[in-house]
Amino acid sequence: VALLFYSGTDRNGTFEASFRSALKKVAPSLEVRTWPELGDANDIRFAALWLPPENLFSKLPNLTHIFALSAGVDKLLQASDLPQDVPIYRLLDGGMATPMSEYVLLGVLQAQRQLQVLAEAQQQKLWKRDTDEPQAKDWHVGILGAGVLAQAAAQRLVANGYPVSTWSRSHKNTALNTLVCLLPLTPNTANILNSRLFDQLPTGASLINAARGEHCVDDDLIAALDRGQISSALLDVFREEPLPAEHLFWSHPKITITPHIAAPTSADVSARYVAEGVANALAGTQPAGLVNRHSGY
């Protein structure tokens, strides 16, 4: 019995090294192989994956459990050779709740305390005091999403004095200062950050997207920023990653770009989750985090 590990963004192998080392501690007898060195592929029953290559699944005839090394499984579900009958599990926390709630809090603090406006003033060497500085208690944050990460972000914001509401297409809160997208990416949520939604927000609202690039219609966001409907955007995710050098987001004065680092997966926590999942599987019980393929999360 073996597990296949693959991470599509672990360029220097540091995540794999940490993951292997942590897994060795909690599941010393589990053999771990790394794509593309499969050995006898018939042994491989488990896979722990982030952004797997296209032809991976067709080489694994005896796979019984797929562990996504991520909270979102949108890319995984799109794999053309994904076996239809193998259950997929996703990281419900993976050490991501803390960094994600930090990231969202940081973005909200920057918006509330008008750091973008002050940074532009600094470039002009302008001492710009706004006597009407908004207070946290009056800075309304809407969160798109209701999963583990969205809940953690909401709790962190509330603990720091912000009124927080869950925002949905049916339950809109029009008195909103910052909108945070933490949705899973599904056919229902793709392109949700578009002109129509931006126009429903109060003029000057700010945006944080830490979910998936495909949630956002890039041209609509640039247009909303340029006409002042959206005052600033903090973006961690993009349709193509790394974000191509020619993309307009890079140099837009109202956009802050971070390279998909809002909630990095912890190798230690991932290893524990995979080890527990494998232990459950071997004992014949269901691992945590089973994905509903129909809903997409």
Calpha distance 198→111 (Å, rounded):
17
Q: Which of 33, 212, 215, 272 is catalytic?
A: 212
Output 61 or 250, the one with its CB closest to a second copy.
Answer: 250
Closest CA to 238 of 265, 263, 264, 210: 210
Residue 49 CB, nearest approach to a second copy (Å): 18
Residue 10 CB, nearest approach to a second copy (Å): 8
Output 130 or 199, the one with its CB closest to a second copy.
Answer: 130
293 catalytically annotated: no
Closest CA to 134 of 156, 157, 158, 162: 162
Two structure tokens written together for 75:
């890319």
Sheet holding 88-89, edge to edge: 31-34, 2-7, 44-50, 65-68, 88-89
Closest CA to 238 of 262, 219, 257: 257
**Which H or E run includes 50?**
strand 44-50
Residue 238 CB, nearest approach to a second copy (Å): 9
Q: Which residues bind a second copy (CB under 8 A)?
A: 9-10, 12, 14-15, 98-99, 102-103, 105-106, 109-110, 112-113, 115, 118-119, 121-122, 125, 127-133, 135-136, 156, 159-161, 241-243, 245, 250-251, 256-261, 264
Residue 96 CB, nearest approach to a second copy (Å): 12
Output 81 or 130, the one with its CB closest to a second copy.
Answer: 130
The total of other beta-carbon atoms located within 10 Å of residue 268's CB is 17
212 catalytically annotated: yes
Output 16 or 43, the one with its CB closest to a second copy.
Answer: 16
CA–CA distance from 131 to each of 15, 59, 113, 135, 148 (Å)?
47, 64, 12, 12, 38
Output 44 or 69, the one with its CB closest to a second copy.
Answer: 69
If you ran DSSP here, which 8-state letter would residue 215 be given? G
Two structure tokens written together for 274:
């995979």
Residue 254 CB, nearest approach to a second copy (Å): 12
Could you tell me which residues come within 8 angstroms of residue 280 by beta carbon, excluding any fewer than 6 positions away?
286, 287, 288
* Catalytic site positions: 212, 260
